[in-house]
Amino acid sequence: MTAELDAPYPLTSEQIGCYAEHGYIKLKQVLSPALIEQFRGIIGDHVAQRAVAAAPLVERSTYGKAFLQIGNLWTESETIRTFVFGKRLARIAAELIGATGVRIYHDQALYKEAGGGITPWHADQYYWPVSSDKIVTVWIPLQPTPRDMGPLCFSEKSHRFQLGRDLEISDESELTLRQALDRFRVENGGFDLGEVSFHAGWTFHRAGANRSERPREVMTIIFMDEAMRLAEPANRNQVNDAKRWCPGIAPGEVIASPLNPVLYSTLP
């Protein structure tokens, strides 16, 4: 288990270039079905424990209907920590963003329940008080994810698009960005088991509703440049993120809190 999680996944120069050009990349056979199955139940149990307190779908906002969202599971389970801290995913992230190494910003389980609604168009970096664009999210489905389950969709090359960077996930972001992003190609295919995606912080993305009869189970990890510094928060969401994910770090300091260890580095 540990050997696979730490083993290198060779990237080609074409794949690194594709990420830089399009703002995301989907990679097949990054993790084996056996490894995913080994962790799926453990992650799912933690999500289920937290979901007990969730309101019924019909009573939630658009954001709330999109998914159950549980963060920093690595701090609650040694087994999940082993999964999140694996060097394979961290090394891919470092190579894609052109960094000597990466820290974890945080992890998140994102479970879109059966009947769960859309995830509106948005860019993650709106929420992050970070000093550069060298930050990336890996999206790891824990089951085959066809289109009817609501896989992640990407607006190609939108990581250079400025409009909409001030919008949080909402009905407004869906309406505004659906129109504004019409000029870009959308990648909206499903995911095979073991296939994962990496997307840049400013790449706009969304997910459809889950029209299947089972949850869409996904684990995500956000990796950032090991030299990333905390930026002065630009909105209330960034204020909250700084307190929650980067405790004790002041603007201008390297984000080296106990919650943000280096997971892979080529530095001595």
CATH code, 27: 2.60.120.620
Convert the pLDDT of each residue in 38-64 to its tens digit: 999 999 999 888 776 666 655 666 656
75 located within any domain:
yes
Q: What is the largest CA-CA distance in the chain?
A: 53
260 located within any domain:
no
10 located within any domain:
yes
At residue 112, φ and ψ (nearest 5 deg) are -90, 110
Structural domains in the chain (count): 1
252 located within any domain:
no
262 located within any domain:
no
CB-CB neighbours of 173 under 10 Å: 22
Task: Confirm if 65 and 31 have CB atoms less than 8 A apart.
Answer: no
- Looking at the DSSP bridge assignments, the partners of residue 67 are none
Convert the pLDDT of each residue in 87-108 to its tens digit: 999 999 999 999 999 999 999 9
What is d(CA 183, CA 220) in angstroms, rounded to the nearest whole number?
A: 28
pLDDT at residue 261 in the model: 98
255 located within any domain:
no
At residue 140, φ and ψ (nearest 5 deg) are -120, 95
214 located within any domain:
yes
Is the per-residue pLDDT at 119 higher than 60? yes
Band (pLDDT 50/70/90 cuts) for residue 262 is: very high
How far the first Cα of the chain sits from its last, in Å, is 26
Domain housing 6: 2-245
Asked whether the CA dihedral 244, 248, 254, 260 is positive or negative, the reply is: negative
Convert the pLDDT of each residue in 173-216 to its tens digit: 999 999 999 999 999 999 999 999 999 999 999 999 999 999 99
Tokens of 263: 């997971």
Convert the pLDDT of each residue in 229-242 to its tens digit: 999 999 999 999 99
179 located within any domain:
yes
pLDDT at residue 16 in the model: 98
